[in-house]
Amino acid sequence: MSRKSYLFTSESVSEGHPDKVCDQISDAIVDAYLAADPHARVALETLATTNRVILAGEVRGPANVNHDTLIDAARRTVREIGYEQDGFHWEKMDVQCYVHEQSADIAVGVDSSAQKDEGAGDQGIMFGFACDETEDFMPAPLYYSHRILQDMATARHSGAAPQFGPDAKSQVT
């Protein structure tokens, strides 16, 4: 197949997509720990389903960031996204917190590392490349897919498009 004869499709999901909701809740919790202690460590998983959020993982950080802090961060994040529906409402959702202190074995392993820039790892899969299709050096389908959802979120949050819900997906070829 000639390099010039292919289609490239990218998709983006909005802030209200369940995966993004979970990412944003996790980010808010990491931010809470780092605001209290820049050296805090957070390994957190977040799951969201109908009117329920489950937080699980382990942390090494200040005691003043407690389960109530984490639950408040989850509710605030869901409220900011705009979920106030019967099936998922920031005030009515059940938030379960199973976050505990980091294992001493992991802490010792990370603390004693001769490579101070090296920490505990996790698996990850990345895909992407820089190109000259857009001023942001992103492939055009991905750039426009993101922009569509950014514009939809702006319209929804401003009240200009009240018919838009928080969960959306954009796909551009």
Domains of the chain from N-terminus onward: 10-14+126-172 (no CATH), 18-111 (3.30.300.10)
pLDDT of residue 56: 98
Share of the chain above pLDDT 90, in %: 78
Q: Over the chain, what is the mean pLDDT?
A: 89
Average pLDDT, stretch 96-112? 77
List pLDDT tens digits, range 120-159.
566 667 777 899 999 999 999 999 999 999 999 999 999 9
The rounded distance, in Å, linking the Cα atoms of 7 and 171 is 13
Confidence grade of residue 96 (pLDDT, cut at 50, 70, 90)? very high
Select from 93, 125, 111, 107 the least CA-distant residue to 25: 93
Quick one: pLDDT at residue 127? 73
Tens-place pLDDT, residues 53-75 = 999 999 999 989 999 999 999 99
d(CA 69, CA 100): 13
User: What pTM value is reported for the model?
Assistant: 0.82
Whose structure tokens read 């996204």? 81
* Residue-by-residue DSSP string for 87-125: TEETTT-EEEEEEEEPPHHHHHHHHT-SSTT--------
**Please, are residues 77 and 93 in contact by the beta-carbon 8 Å criterion?**
no
Least trusted range by pLDDT, from 2-11, 78-87, 112-121, 164-173: 112-121
- Span 69-86, mean pLDDT? 96
Average pLDDT for 12-36 = 96
